[in-house]
Amino acid sequence: MSLRDQIIARIRAQGPMRIDEYMATCLLHPTLGYYTTRDPFGTSGDFVTAPEISQMFGELLGLCLAQTWLDQGAPKPFTLAELGPGRGTLMADALRACRQVPGFIEAAQVTLIEASPTLREVQQKTLKSVDVSWIDTIQELAEQPLFLIANEFFDALPIRQFLRDGTQWRERQVGLDAGGLSFGLAPAQPQPALAYRLADTQDGDLVETCAAAAPIVEEMAARITAQGGTALIIDYGGWHLIGDTLQALRAHKKVSPLETPGDADLTAHVDFQALAEAANACTHTQPTAQGTFLERLGITQRAQVLASNLTGAALESHVAAHRRLTHSAEMGNLFQVMALYPQGGAPPPGVDP
Ligand code: SAH
């Protein structure tokens, strides 16, 4: 039975489905989910992420972590972790660049947190020369300093959506109409967890919550406080969001989130304010535009070095990749970088404190 038919049968039997359940089912259903069944990245896939655009992204992120590691006294051993590593490209680029930092690679225990067995296999191939361990949840990380990257991870976590109705809220749900799956609204109910949103919203406004994000950030923050380290969170989103940001991408085009369950990537914008609040055990930086962050870390100098060995189409695509990562009309402003670091310590280079 297709995933669509399973979802329809489930709604017939149990009633409308919350959006977080719908998203989790579409993305990570054990046999029919989007991430569980494919490698979605790259020009032949559904979307392209920053590490797949250019090696410069992973190199600079790796060196940013390595500098922070040096600033914190080069602790040994430490965990070099990535949440949702995709193809493993970012980690491979980071490790290659960090070979120039004495002691870093020897002290690093590379740990990948990945839910998809298909992508774990791809990561294993990309990182075949590296001693890597995989874990299912951040709680399983070793008790030691933690240097972590999460690029386009939080946008994949399931969200719920609530439409304001007076001082109450109507949850947006997935139900059925004559044509198949359709969005609807549950009856208005008080939502004590959304009380703080009554001050900044009006009747008819939609807000999103991501319950899965806070426990992950709390765990990072607790570890960074107890053992040292840092976390770099990179994603599209903003500070204190209002409105519907649920989107589906298939073959690089936006499609309806209900059109092809399990066959399109589903994401939502990341509310950095919610992440910052969950990180209160340690210190967080401001979200900093990805373009600004990469420029400060020297992407243009690195791009020039790489360009000196390129000609023709390869040079053109390298120049386009630099622009795509940094320009404000492309990923430069849409994507933000926020770092977590120990109280009283220094933030990683490149981010606004
Ligand atoms: N960071 C990569 C991939 C981003 S896509 C890049 O920049 O290219 C999101 C990644 O998170 C995928 O690897 C997906 O399988 C993984 N993922 C999604 N939900 C997850 C969860 N709940 N736990 C662990 N990994 C998850």
At residue 325, what is the residue type?
L
Helix 89-98 vs helix 117-126: angle between axes, to the nearest 10 degrees? 30
Report which ligand 1 atom has the smallest distance to the Cα of 155: 9
pTM for the predicted model, two decimal places? 0.96
pLDDT of residue 8: 97
Position 179 scores a pLDDT of 79
Q: What is the DSSP letter of 282?
A: S
**CA-89 nearest atom, ligand 1:** 8
Residue partners of 166: CB distance under 8 A and separation at least 6: 188, 203
How many angstroms does the Cα of residue 321 sit away from the middle of ligand 1?
22
Q: Enter the DSSP assignment of 41.
A: B
Residue with tokens 């009856």: 187
- Tokens standing for residue 257: 């989130």
In the predicted structure, residue 44 carries a pLDDT above the cut 90: no
Q: Report d(CA 257, CA 263) in Å as an integer.
A: 10
Tens digit of each residue's pLDDT (9 = 90 or more) over 203-219 = 999 999 999 999 999 99
Q: How far apart are CA 16 and CA 22, in angstroms?
A: 10
3-state SS assignment for residue 241: coil
The fold of the 35-158+210-341 domain, in CATH, is: Rossmann fold (3.40.50)
Ligand 1 centre to CA of 127 (Å) is 16
Domain ranges of the chain: 3-32+160-209, 35-158+210-341
- Residue 200, judged by CB atoms within 10 A of its CB (0-12, 13-18, 19+), counts as exposed
Residue 25 has pLDDT above 90, yes or no: yes
Average pLDDT over residues 181-199: 95
- Res 70: pLDDT: 98
Return the amino acid letter for 179.
G
Ligand 1 mean position, distance from CA 106 (Å): 26
Strands 168-177 and 78-83: unpaired
Mutate which of 47, 114, 270 for ligand 1? The one with the most ligand atoms within 8 Å of its CB, which is 114
Closest CA to 270 of 247, 304, 296: 247
Token pair for 212: 């899965």
